[in-house]
Amino acid sequence: MVTHSLDLPAPDGAEIAALRQQLFTHERATRHQLAQVLHDHIGQILTVARLRLDSIGDSLQAKGDKVQGPALHEVSAQLGQALTMIRGMLTDLRPVLLDERGLAAALASELGQHGLCNMPVRMTWDVDIEAATCRWPPQVEYAAFMLAREALVNALRHADATEVQVRLSGNAQQMNLTVHDNGSGLPASDEADVSFGLGVLGMRERSLSVGAHFAIHSQPGSGTTVSMRWQSEQA
């Protein structure tokens, strides 16, 4: 019997960084593709179907049908709920505001939406004058936005926070993002559920994919602070 063995060298830091960048570039492209399919195809089909059902239902009711007409309107209302869900998915998959107006505007909108859905939670948004209109490389803005979104979800869903503070500062050469909450803090490793652990891992990987520094500080009962610090190689 002949046994073959092959020792492959471990990838260096540059190779790992390149692989991470390829991974998240592919993820972003996939998200955009899914959003386009939902909007241009599935969303349009449901919209046309709803209009058709409403038209038929109105016609039947005008003829005195008190059973089929209302039933069709009920189905139409359910399609309307599906369309609302699709619009929410589109916002999650493709944050258009991020592409059009930048990170600060997208984060402000995200906090506003979370504030409306979680009324008892106090949301604080702090952004420097320069950072309010600054544009960073698209991959950096995308990584920062998704990190902030994940940190907000963790604070509200897992930590039962009542206060969340988001701060953005920097200029064209650097960017600092911090999300702090007053929740229960990080759970012990044996108590953390899978989704929470994957969320923290995802935030770290997003930061590393654009060459940013990621940090998370927490103590049980003392809240959690998540930060991402990026600096241009030209700085």
What would the pLDDT profile of 15-46 be if each residue is shown by its tens digit? 666 666 676 677 777 777 777 777 677 778 88
**Are 89 and 117 contained in the same domain?**
no
**Are 27 and 129 contained in the same domain?**
no
For residue 155, the model assigns a pLDDT of 84
Q: In this structure, is residue 4 part of a structural domain?
A: no
What is the C-alpha to C-alpha distance for residues 213 and 100, in angstroms, rounded to an integer? 26
For residue 53, the model assigns a pLDDT of 84
**Are 104 and 209 contained in the same domain?**
yes
**Are 101 and 39 contained in the same domain?**
no
Q: Could you state, in chain order, the average pLDDT of each consecutive group of 10 residues for the chain (235 residues)?
A: 46 64 71 72 81 85 82 84 77 77 92 70 90 92 91 81 92 95 71 55 85 87 89 79
What is the C-alpha to C-alpha distance for residues 164 and 180, in angstroms, rounded to an integer? 6
Q: In this structure, is residue 8 part of a structural domain?
A: no
**Are 87 and 127 contained in the same domain?**
no
Q: In this structure, is residue 3 part of a structural domain?
A: no
For residue 194, the model assigns a pLDDT of 43
Last residue of a domain, one of 93, 123, 148: 93
Last residue of a domain, one of 93, 123, 149: 93
Q: In this structure, is residue 7 part of a structural domain?
A: no
Strand, coil or helix: what is 217?
Answer: strand
For residue 185, the model assigns a pLDDT of 77
**Are 219 and 109 contained in the same domain?**
yes
**Are 107 and 51 contained in the same domain?**
no
Last residue of a domain, one of 68, 93, 118: 93
Q: In this structure, is residue 109 part of a structural domain?
A: yes
For residue 20, the model assigns a pLDDT of 65
Q: In this structure, is residue 1 part of a structural domain?
A: no
Q: In this structure, is residue 117 part of a structural domain?
A: yes
**Are 145 and 126 contained in the same domain?**
yes
CATH code, domain carrying 158: 3.30.565.10
Residue of 120, 118, 134 whose CA lies nearest to 176: 134
For residue 189, the model assigns a pLDDT of 53
**Are 50 and 112 contained in the same domain?**
no
Pairing relation of β-strands 122-127 and 174-181?
Answer: unpaired
**Are 115 and 215 contained in the same domain?**
yes
Number of folded domains in the chain? 2
What is the pTM assigned to this prediction?
A: 0.67
Strand, coil or helix: what is 223?
Answer: coil
Residue of 175, 129, 172, 167 whose CA lies nearest to 148: 167
**Are 217 and 108 contained in the same domain?**
yes
Q: In this structure, is residue 219 part of a structural domain?
A: yes
For residue 140, the model assigns a pLDDT of 92
**Are 115 and 180 contained in the same domain?**
yes
Give the number of other Cβ atoms within 10 Å of residue 70's Cβ.
13
For residue 7, the model assigns a pLDDT of 47
Give the number of other Cβ atoms within 10 Å of residue 183's Cβ.
23
pLDDT tens digits, 149-174 = 989 888 887 778 888 999 999 999 99
User: Which residues span the domain enclosing 183?
Assistant: 97-231
